[in-house]
Amino acid sequence: MDPEEAYRKVLSSLEEHHRWFDSSLPMIASENVTSPAVRRVLTSDFGHRYAEGWVGERVYAGTKYIDRVESLAMELIREIYEVRFADVRPISGVVANLSVYTALTQPGDVVMALPITKGGHISMGPLRGSKGQFIGGTAGAVRGLDVKYIAFDDESMNIDVDRTLRRMEKYRPKLLMLGGSVILFPQPVKELAEAAKSMGAAVNYDAAHVAGLIAGRRFQRPLDEGADVMTFSTHKTFFGPQHGAVITNDEDKFDLIKKANFPGLLSNHHLHAVAALAIAAAEMLAFGEEYAGAVIRNAKALARALHDQGFRVVGEKLGFTESHQVLLDVDELGGGYRCEKLLERANIIVNRNLLPWDIKRGRSFKDPGGLRLGVSELTRLGMGPEEMAQVARFYREVLIDGKKPEEVAKEVSELRKGFRTVKYAFEEGPAYEH
């Protein structure tokens, strides 16, 4: 390979990617876009440095400004969530979960979580599936935990409390993992946390998806409802770079979690991301309430509009959604794979997703029956309910009317011209450039 050609190819690919996203509708529920300040900080010198350990107990020199920034990041996170302790070192949501497994369980212990088919995340998954097939979920494969499932009720699109309580009695878990990747509604944290406490189990709420909504006080606050610990990714509904964090009010558990992170799981904890997280947290503190309100308003508006355009939107009887997510059942429209690919040609970026009833009707991961849509990024770009109605019309044109996706792409690009700036930030600026 010609090295200089490769070098140019990487740069031109990035340019093309930015141009593409600048004329698209990015609607992957786990993604968002960061402010220019967050992106600037990500390329700072912090990204060249090491600061192993805890502020004040570093095992490296040269960290005095790094310490100051990391302290600020922790302080901001503690203030946002009104908690006593925060560890901002996990380099992702998965690592945050792993730090909780490491701190609060032993290999062989039972952990209970939602199965992936019902909104659980691979980081809560078992080593092997029911037929002995390798799955490789973090809880089972990395920490050696025995994963048992929380019961889910398809009707209410939520945890089935009674059945879960019975399973908890049977399996006596050491840890309950709440939260999830498909999460339309607040979960029954209070009931489950009470039961967990009575049997000496710890409760972690994985807020990877909803951390920004919780920060903005528009979603359940798990620690107030009885969860012991909350882990999260900082980049889904939160304003941050790709990173993770853990918060708790429990000092003993926190001491263990700190040690699990270092020296357990991390050497370098990506100091540029910590700095970017500090900025994102300041943005959250200032604009989080307004943003989270707008996100949920948009999700509801999009769900309603899609329903009115003739789509099967999950949760119709429940008001569709209380989060940033909207779920479509596209089984009759050719399935998730086909719909995802058609939408992508129209520059609408979403991901296909398993619905809770997919396995029963013979669908699988590769071609599930659902699409999971998220409005976090469109909201950050300043879109509101009117644009959501327009977006729903694009979905209809592509998936129901059978209009050529490339034609719809032109309309998408036209709409995007009015929304090219990242809002809810101290410095607003262009979204997709570097």
Which residues here bind ligand PLP, judged by CB under 6 A? 30, 92-94, 121, 123, 179-181, 206, 208-209, 233, 244
For ligand PLP, the closer CB: 180 or 405: 180
Q: C-beta of 376: minimal distance to ligand PLP in Å?
A: 12
CB-based contacts of 299: which residues, under 8 Å, 6+ apart?
320, 321, 323, 324, 325, 326, 374, 375
Among 279, 296, 324, 290, smallest CA distance to 424 is for 290
Judged by CB, which is closer to ligand PLP: 233, or 351? 233
CA dihedral angle for residue 100, residue 106, residue 110, residue 116, rounded to 10 degrees:
40
Q: How far is the CB of 246 from ligand PLP (least distance, A)?
A: 12
Helix axes 335-345, 385-399, angle to 10 degrees: 110
- Residue 391, H or E segment: helix 385-399
Q: Quick one: 243 or 363, whose CB is closer to ligand PLP?
A: 243
Question: For the chain, what is the largest distance between any 2 Cα atoms, rounded to a whole number of angstroms?
Answer: 64
Instruction: Pick between residue 164 and residue 181 the one whose CB is nearest to ligand PLP.
Output: 181
Q: Whose Cβ is closer to ligand PLP: residue 204's or residue 309's? A: 204
Element spanning 111, H or E: strand 110-113
When the beta carbons of 136 and 418 are compared against ligand PLP, the nearer one is 136
Closest CA to 343 of 28, 16, 119, 14: 28
Q: Between 180 and 335, whose beta carbon lies closer to ligand PLP?
A: 180
Q: Between 279 and 305, whose beta carbon lies closer to ligand PLP?
A: 279
What's the CA gap between 390 and 415, in Å, rounded? 9
Q: What are phi and psi of 366, to 5 degrees?
A: -70, -40
Q: CA-to-CA distance for 279 and 40, rounded, in angstroms? A: 10
CB of 119 to ligand PLP, least distance (A): 8
- Residues across the chain: 434
Instruction: Provide, rounded to whole angstroms, the least separation between the CB of residue 256 and ligand PLP.
Output: 20
Q: Report helix, strand or coil for 216.
A: coil
Cross-strand partners of 147: 111
Residue 356: CB minimum distance to ligand PLP, A:
16
Instruction: Compute the least distance from the CB of residue 30 to ligand PLP, in Å.
Output: 5
Q: State the nearest-atom distance from the C-beta of 95 to ligand PLP, in Å.
A: 7
Cα separation values, 110 from 83, 135, 188, 308, 413, Å? 27, 17, 20, 44, 49
Cβ proximity to ligand PLP: between 209 and 416 the closer is 209
Minimum separation from the CB atom of position 279 to ligand PLP (A): 18
Q: Which is nearer to ligand PLP, 70 or 206 (CB)?
A: 206
Query: What minimum distance in Å lies between the beta carbon of 201 and ligand PLP?
Result: 19
Distances 277 to 79, 91, 205, 243, 287 between C-alpha atoms, Å:
14, 11, 20, 8, 15
User: Which of these, 165, 184, 166, 121, lies nearest to 147 by C-alpha position?
Assistant: 121
Check residue 137 and give left, alpha or beta (phi > 0: left; psi -120 to 50: alpha). beta
Closest-approach residue to ligand PLP (CB)? 93
Residue nearer to ligand PLP on the CB measure, 209 or 380? 209
Q: How far is the CB of 5 from ligand PLP (least distance, A)?
A: 32
Residue 33, Ramachandran bin (φ over 0: left; ψ between -120 and 50: alpha; else beta): beta
- Distance (Å, whole) CA 23 – CA 348: 9
- Residue 56, sorted as left (phi over 0), alpha (psi -120 to 50) or beta, turns out to be left
* DSSP track, 289-317: HHHHHHHHHHHHHHHHHHHHTT--BTTGG
- Minimum Å distance from CB 237 to ligand PLP? 11
